[in-house]
Structure 1
Amino acid sequence: MSGTYNDDVISVQNLWFAYKDEEFVLRDVTITIDNRPTAIVGQNGAGKTTFVKLLKALLTPTKGDIWIFGQNTKDTTAAKLAKTVGLVFQNPADQIFKSKVIEEVMFGPMNVFKDKHVAYENSVRALELVGLKGKEEEHPYDLTLSERKLLCLASILAMEPKVIIFDEPTIAQDRYSTQVIAGIIKSLVSSGKFVITITHDMDFVLENFSRTVVFSDGMIIADGETEHVLSDDEILTKAHLEVPWLIRLSRELNVPYKKIREIKTVNY
């Protein structure tokens, strides 16, 4: 197998992927992902969802290699990689299949740890972290949509993966739930987890992710510090993305973005 790898990072080398012969969704993508919270953004069809499915080994590269802490995804399966990479789907219906909240959260850790006591303790702790403590015996579909998304997050956190990938985490979330997710992301990053999101919510990206990678037409067209990337009108126009409102406000007031953010943080 070609390529080099590092046990401390996710290394993607010369990645190509096509669902149909020669109709490539991703083209020659090379990137190293470290423990900086990283947002992957781009318009619909840019290739970002396909990219994270490849990171999770739900898909296999057509060409090139993906190394997850030294493990080539071609040599493993999504089930085996669950101990390392957790993906929180955009739509809870794609993830939920048990009849009780606690059973839903315990399913993953039971398969990972093979110990009911550990699975239960991890699940209770994860439910408390996402604000669903006390709902253990409820049916998942008796929860609100916002709560079901948090339930899916708890199911991933209970497995204690080193990498957590969020697919559109703020869709269908109210302001409170969005703040809960932001707090969880900060906690995960502080504990040394790799946190990745794919999203169209540029405001959420600006406030919670220090690195932003922009996809367009299956290729990476920008990769850098979030404030710089999301302030570049040429890149945003090419990727059909909006300028975050805090950056727009800083331009209107002619005040540095970081000063605006400081004022917002104090008021919150």
Structure 2
Amino acid sequence: MKIEVKNLVHKYPSGEVALNGISAVFEGTEPIAIIGQNGAGKTTFVKHLNGLLRPSDGEVLINGESVEEHTTAFWSRKIGYVFQNPDNQLFLESVKKEFEFGPKQQGVPKKEIRWRLEKIADLVGLTNKLYVHPFDLNATEKKFCTIGSILMMNPEMIILDEPTCGQDIEGNQRLTKIIASLKANNQLCLTITHDMKFVVENFDQIIVMSKGQILNREKKEIIFSAPDVLKASYVSPPPITRVGQILDLDQPVFNQQDFHRYFEEKRADKKRING
């Protein structure tokens, strides 16, 4: 699947411009993170990719076809969206019914639905909660219920809006597993998040937004080596990356392993130079 965004503009009824001429292309399966301060236009932007919002100007093309040619329900077969607040997405009497609803609407055979249900319930950690009412789940479980309901429809792209909100370490580890699973299944994962530690652990490709525009789209090593871009988007690197910057390291580090490896390599280089 290929998504082309051309000079996208979105204006609210008040006249405020939320997106100001964004252009981008999405294809392949490499997970992408979208970062930037609140109000940068991240959610407004991704809601145009499956028709939840329609352009005020410009266009969004999916495999060469304008998103405005079909309904959001049509595009949801290709692009799944997981809302930041799961309460906005859950409406049935059990987790099982939430999971089965989408593929049933798509006409997926019962046997295939049963197979997906077993696989997805395990992936999102809700195998033992299938007959629980979604509103009796805790906040973390609700989030994974909404993720599971979208995964059940097997879209070519899935958009996660702030999936780490309210998550503990175990929840973040499960999200990491889900993102890796999507890539292995040839599905593109696009994720909005403010959690920079989560970003550097799971995404090599990053889009930085500010004031309704894309400031940069690059690999994480380049993004976190560009202080001007980070300052303009009000993004702060992960703590260990900031330590490396304070020490004036000549490359960004994203975890303790990177940190130790950097100094081991420098020590080895010094030994070679000194014979």
Q: Calculate the TM-score normalised by the size of structure 2.
A: 0.88
What SS does the aligned partner of 1:20 have? coil
Query: Residue in 1 aligned with 2:61?
Result: 67
After superposition, the CA RMSD in angstroms is 2.0
Match of 1:185 among 176, 179, 198: 179
Match of 1:19 among 12, 32, 40: 12
Query: Residue in 2 aligned with 1:29?
Result: 22
- C-alpha contact 2:238 2:254 (8 A) present in aligned 1: no
Match of 1:158 among 139, 152, 159: 152
Number of residue pairs the alignment of both structures matches: 259
Query: Residue in 1 aligned with 2:3?
Result: 10
CA distance in 1, matches of 2:37, 2:244: 25
- C-alpha contact 1:82 1:112 (8 A) present in aligned 2: no
Match of 2:208 among 214, 239, 263: 214
Instruction: Give, in angstroms, the shift of residue 22 of structure 1.
Output: 4.3
Q: Kindly provide the amino acid, as one letter, of the partner of residue 72 in structure 1.
A: S
Query: Residue in 1 aligned with 2:141?
Result: 147
Q: Kindly provide the amino acid, as one letter, of the partner of residue 66 in structure 2.
A: N
CA distance in 2, matches of 1:71, 1:123: 31
Q: Calculate the TM-score normalised by the size of structure 1.
A: 0.90
For residues 229-240 of structure 1, what are the structure 2 equivalents within 5 Å? 229-240=223-234
CA distance in 1, matches of 2:2, 2:54: 19
Match of 1:94 among 83, 88, 93: 88
User: Structure 1, unaligned stretches of length 5 or more?
Assistant: 1-7
- 1:110 and 2:104 matched: yes
> Percent identity over the alignment?
37
Per-residue CA distance 1:155-187 (angstroms, 9 max, x = gap): 011100000100001001111011110111012
User: Structure 2, unaligned stretches of length 5 or more?
Assistant: 262-275
- C-alpha contact 2:224 2:252 (8 A) present in aligned 1: no
Instruction: Give, in angstroms, the shift of residue 264 of structure 1.
Output: 8.4
CA distance in 2, matches of 1:196, 1:138: 29
- C-alpha contact 1:246 1:257 (8 A) present in aligned 2: no
CA distance in 2, matches of 1:28, 1:134: 46
What SS does the aligned partner of 1:97 have? coil
CA distance in 2, matches of 1:189, 1:225: 17
Instruction: Give, in angstroms, the shift of residue 150 of structure 1.
Output: 0.6
Q: Kindly provide the amino acid, as one letter, of the partner of residue 16 in structure 1.
A: V
Indicate how the Cα distance of structure 1 residues 81 and 248 shifts in structure 2: closer, same or farther if over 3 A, else same. Answer: same
Query: Residue in 1 aligned with 2:237?
Result: 243
CA distance in 2, matches of 1:11, 1:94: 28
- C-alpha contact 2:5 2:24 (8 A) present in aligned 1: yes
CA distance in 1, matches of 2:8, 2:59: 6
CA distance in 1, matches of 2:162, 2:52: 18
- C-alpha contact 2:77 2:153 (8 A) present in aligned 1: yes
What SS does the aligned partner of 1:109 have? helix
